[in-house]
Structure 1
Amino acid sequence: MILIWMICILLAGGILCWLTAQKSAVLAKWIALLTVTADLLIACWLFRIYQAFPDNTSWFINYQTDWIPALGISFHVAMDGFSHVLLLLTFFLGILAVLCSWKEIREKTGFYFFNLLWTLAGISGVFIAMDMILFYFCWEVMLIPMYFLITIWGDARRRYAGFKFFIFTQVGSLLMLLSLLALYFIHGDQTGTYTFDYFSLLRTSTGSPVMMWIMLGFLIAFAIKLPVVPFHNWLPDAHGEAPTAGSLVLAGLLLKTGAYGIIRFVLPLFPESAAAIGPWMILLGVIGIIYGALLAFSQTDLKRLIAYTSVSHMGFVLVGIFSFSNIAMQGVVMQILTHGLSTGALFVMAGMLKERLHTRDITKMGGLWTAMPAMGGIAILFTMASAGLPALGNFIAEFFILLGTFTSHPTFSIIATLGLILSAVYSLRMMQKVFMGQQTATEPIRDISARELVIMAALSISIVALGLFPQPVIDTVQHLSTIHPLLHE
């Protein structure tokens, strides 16, 4: 029941924010902050249960009750170490998203925090839902509030970006729904039991050729959200036009639901089809690494530049997943966490600069180090993290992915390594354009505030801690090697 309470707290908190904002916008902000903080504390407390579980290899929380038994639909939620890590990331970044919005959002405050908390609730539900209809429901819940966040509180082209985001993700959702229904009926024909339960569907025979098409329906839905080239077109517009917290949630969490879906559903449910398509997916991942890095280097809009770095970094995730290597899978989980922290921090920094300079054009910036030395120092940390500097979390993640991929696909691994070089190039270009050179601003610019310092300090400590002490995360997700028959050392 504790997992259900975590979701209900977010849903209730969102409604309460909407209602109380009519009397006090400040009260709505505090309700949102306390709501997400409560869930983070609960998730931290669950570590005690996880550590007490034998061998840390199983689902240590598992709750199921009937929902629509006539159709084989249940309310089934469960948590293993992988889900737990992602929930911790969700609530941690959720707190920072609320803090980012403290001064930025000045209108429709209650409805804004309602949408933000319901987006977090949908994301949390995706990470724990073990009934496929419940999973699909949570997948849709996180889509609609994010659409409102972009179209109502975004920048000048927010409606265009919001519609593109909605259309791309909705097409993927419908493909997943069709594939889900096909899998439901095939499992029923094979076993005589019609159910949407994940653990039951794992026992479906997947040898028929039609399974490849069903798998592709799931894969395309997750690839759009990841995003995989050529399904990435919605990402730069959505990131560029979303409010700061929206960009943080998009980069840090929504993209990760795509990676989670591939790891949790595509590989275990369709092992033969996944193995057959694996080399092609690695090829797409390598293309995404190089293509995203080149486009990031050519951008002048700061938020679009950071958005294209996500395309490049998520290419490493795709390569690691379909290399079917245990060490690469550990790197994938680390990349999910560290990319959420480092790229999320860069988007927060971009929002701070936009608030002060009223522009995202890096050609109109420059020389900001003199006026903003504290933010400049923090920017160096996260640009170096994005470039994969040793002792920071991104290095561990990408090193593990490349090492695991090299054993089975050495050529792809070598080509993907070029992405590390290109990431250093676009990261240093961004740093030079924004903070170095001659100062272009004519008015005094204030440095980082106390609230902003808390946000960036939390992200800085996290990315350094993951770089120096990655073993706790690796131990937590070690069991993934036991539930995926394709993984090898």
Structure 2
Amino acid sequence: MGLLSILIFLPLVFGMFILLMPKALNHYFKYLTVGVSLVQLLIASWLYFNFKTGDGFTGVNQLAQYQWVEKLDWIRLDVGSFGTLQIDYLLGVDGFSIGLVWLSALVMLIASLSSWEIKSNLKGYFALFLLLDTAIIGVFCSLDLFLFYIFYELMLLPLYFLIGMWGGVRREYAAIKFFLYTLFGSIFMLLVIAGLYLSVTDPETGNHTFNLVHAMNPANYSAGSIFSALDNIQILGFSARAIGFIIVFIAFAIKVPVFPFHTWLPDAHVEAPTPISIILAGILLKVGGYGIIRIAYGIFPDIAISLSWWMGLLGVISIIYGAMNALAQTDLKRLIAYSSVSHMGFVLLGIASLTSEGINGAMMQMISHGFLSVMLFFIVGVIYNRVHDRDIYNFRGLANQMPVFTGFVMIAFFASLGLPGFSAFIAEAFSLIGAFSSQSLNGLLPRWMAVVAAIGILLGAGYFLWTLQRMFFGTLRLKKEEWKAQLVDLNFREKLVLFPLAALALVLGIMPSLVFNVMSSSINQFILLFK
């Protein structure tokens, strides 16, 4: 068993172990989960810092650009005239996925520490938490479309129960809405995956295959493939490959979420417990961005070029729409949820530019927003756990009451609004540079998109600075007098969570090469698909 398999299935093994443990030992579940998450982060960190870059580890349509590859024959089934059904257990990471694997391990560790607030049905909670951990890491490591789809769908089950059983007052509504939205997109994506299977052949065996690397090879879409056979059939003016791209894009756009597929996000965030909000914002949204790059753009590059203008437009709308909605919120958690819609719009804009700068910016934005959104939702959880209220107008002057906490809030807010010196500034700047230069480099995006998107940064400064001024500055004034005794400053566990997140925001803002150097080779090879 390789390192990637250990990384994926270690949480599943210990989740089953928790299910077998007697209920009398439930106070040990949280320590066991934190321990597993810590080991997972150590493995992911070793993989990240030992990831090799350079010409020797590149290649557009072969496994040469992937490292720690594990390949086993999983399913071989004779299907008559269609030959042999071939499904492989195929794992590997490249510059796109290794950073997201490390981010996922970090976020799951922080979410496990935040899960100490959970008081009911601990066995079920931590078992589902670890199952979700396995599914998330599996998505980023899978190089077989069938295996990818299994992990992708597996995320739905634990998230549905974690929101629906441990969430807020309207948790059942939020859980069902999230489940149906995501299931709607993924069901149709399964049909596209089936079509890809009939279009892709393994050059070694000659069998049809779900191999994701072979699916990115344009040679597989020859005259004999199902997509080329259906291309003569036009549906609403779209060819079969265009419809395949649109279906896959919508499935992942729901996860990002991109306007107008975003409406599940505020409800899910508001009703989910803090650790699950951390996972939703820190990782789940990145699964959508990763899927758009890896599958939608990677497998359908010709369609991606022709529809990039529309992708860029959706990104710009998401940036402005999310920011405007955030400005209108009085619930702190809902404000941060809408800010995620705005910030993830920069990811789509950077991808749509199909420039090296834009895609580097999009990937940096996913990683930066990953830990900054975790920091923001953890901050909301700190206040909510003390007084069970999130209304911005019910607080004022918290800096006098909680000075250390206020310091971390200021770092999180200024980093998220894109202040120079922090990671989000680098990410958003590169996304905008890519969008702005796209018109002269490849003619895909007009410059006005970059100009309008830049307004989203100004709006972000508006809602973050207003919230900071309203809640933390001025004379202490609270809705209830008894809150003053409850609003104590950070404890050791909370400082342990917030300090490394604040440090990451600063370190990656000063030394973005820690991320760019790892991604560059894979991004340069990816760009070749669109030449």
TM range (shorter): over 0.9
CA distance in structure 2 between the aligned counterparts of 1:5 and 1:279, rounded to whole angstroms: 41
Residue matched to 1:20? 21
CA distance in structure 2 between the aligned counterparts of 1:341 and 1:216, rounded to whole angstroms: 30
Q: Does 1:465 align with 2:507?
A: yes
CA deviations 1:280-301 (Å, max 9, x no partner) are: 0100110000000000010011
CA distance in structure 1 between the aligned counterparts of 2:509 and 2:526, rounded to whole angstroms: 26
CA distance in structure 2 between the aligned counterparts of 1:52 and 1:302, rounded to whole angstroms: 41
Cα deviation, residue 487, structure 1? 5.8
Q: How many residues matched?
A: 487
Cα deviation, residue 267, structure 1? 1.2
Q: Does 1:482 align with 2:525?
A: yes
Distance 1:47 1:307, change over 3 A: closer
Partner SS for 1:76: strand
Cα deviation, residue 367, structure 1? 1.5
CA deviations 1:170-216 (Å, max 9, x no partner) are: 00110110111122223369996321111222233276421011111
CA deviations 1:458-483 (Å, max 9, x no partner) are: 11111111111110210100022113
Residue matched to 1:138? 151
8 Å CA contact retained: 2:312, 2:349: yes
Cα deviation, residue 5, structure 1? 1.3
Partner SS for 1:478: helix
8 Å CA contact retained: 1:334, 1:473: yes
Residue matched to 2:76? 69
Cα deviation, residue 111, structure 1? 1.2
Residue matched to 1:33? 34
Cα deviation, residue 51, structure 1? 3.5
Residue matched to 2:496? 454
CA distance in structure 1 between the aligned counterparts of 2:57 and 2:49, rounded to whole angstroms: 11
Residue matched to 2:107? 93
8 Å CA contact retained: 1:72, 1:194: yes
CA distance in structure 2 between the aligned counterparts of 1:81 and 1:270, rounded to whole angstroms: 20
Q: Which has the larger radius of gyration?
A: 2
Residue matched to 1:187? 200
Partner SS for 1:126: helix
8 Å CA contact retained: 2:48, 2:99: no
- The equivalences for 1:190-201 within 5 A come to 193-201=207-215
Name the % identity: 40
Q: Structure 1: which amino acid aligns with 2:99?
A: V
Partner SS for 2:47: helix
The range that moved more, 84-93 or 48-57, is 48-57
8 Å CA contact retained: 1:223, 1:231: yes
Residue matched to 2:269? 239
Distance 1:370 1:48, change over 3 A: closer
- The equivalences for 1:53-452 within 5 A come to 55-57=56-58, 58-70=65-77, 71-102=85-116, 104-187=117-200, 193-203=207-217, 204-205=220-221, 208=231, 209-408=239-438, 409-441=446-478, 442-443=481-482, 444=485, 445-452=487-494
CA distance in structure 2 between the aligned counterparts of 1:352 and 1:38, rounded to whole angstroms: 26
Residue matched to 1:6? 7
CA distance in structure 1 between the aligned counterparts of 2:92 and 2:392, rounded to whole angstroms: 45
CA deviations 1:320-379 (Å, max 9, x no partner) are: 001001011111111011101111111000011111121111111111111111111110
Q: Structure 2: which amino acid aligns with 1:202?
A: M
Partner SS for 2:92: strand
Cα deviation, residue 55, structure 1? 4.8
Q: Structure 2: which amino acid aligns with 1:59?
A: Y
Partner SS for 1:78: strand
CA deviations 1:410-436 (Å, max 9, x no partner) are: 110001000010000011111122212
CA distance in structure 2 between the aligned counterparts of 1:100 and 1:374, rounded to whole angstroms: 18
Cα deviation, residue 25, structure 1? 2.1
8 Å CA contact retained: 1:17, 1:32: no
CA distance in structure 2 between the aligned counterparts of 1:152 and 1:407, rounded to whole angstroms: 48
CA distance in structure 2 between the aligned counterparts of 1:395 and 1:380, rounded to whole angstroms: 15
Q: Structure 2: which amino acid aligns with 1:185?
A: L
TM-score (ref. length: structure 1): 0.96
Unpaired stretches in structure 2, ≥5 consecutive residues: 59-64, 78-84, 222-226, 232-238, 439-445
Partner SS for 2:396: coil
CA distance in structure 1 between the aligned counterparts of 2:200 and 2:21, rounded to whole angstroms: 47
8 Å CA contact retained: 2:435, 2:450: yes
CA distance in structure 2 between the aligned counterparts of 1:14 and 1:431, rounded to whole angstroms: 40
Partner SS for 1:390: coil
TM-score (ref. length: structure 2): 0.89
Cα deviation, residue 82, structure 1? 2.2
CA deviations 1:153-175 (Å, max 9, x no partner) are: 11111110000000000001101
CA distance in structure 2 between the aligned counterparts of 1:302 and 1:64, rounded to whole angstroms: 46
8 Å CA contact retained: 2:200, 2:210: no
Q: Structure 2: which amino acid aligns with 1:422?
A: L
CA distance in structure 2 between the aligned counterparts of 1:228 and 1:354, rounded to whole angstroms: 28
Partner SS for 2:72: strand
CA distance in structure 2 between the aligned counterparts of 1:21 and 1:150, rounded to whole angstroms: 25
Residue matched to 2:81? none
Partner SS for 1:73: strand
CA RMSD of aligned residues (A): 1.8
CA distance in structure 2 between the aligned counterparts of 1:380 and 1:255, rounded to whole angstroms: 24
Q: Structure 1: which amino acid aligns with 2:215?
A: L
Partner SS for 1:50: coil
Cα deviation, residue 404, structure 1? 1.0
Q: Structure 1: which amino acid aligns with 2:280?
A: L
CA deviations 1:388-409 (Å, max 9, x no partner) are: 0000000000000001110123
CA distance in structure 1 between the aligned counterparts of 2:176 and 2:349, rounded to whole angstroms: 30
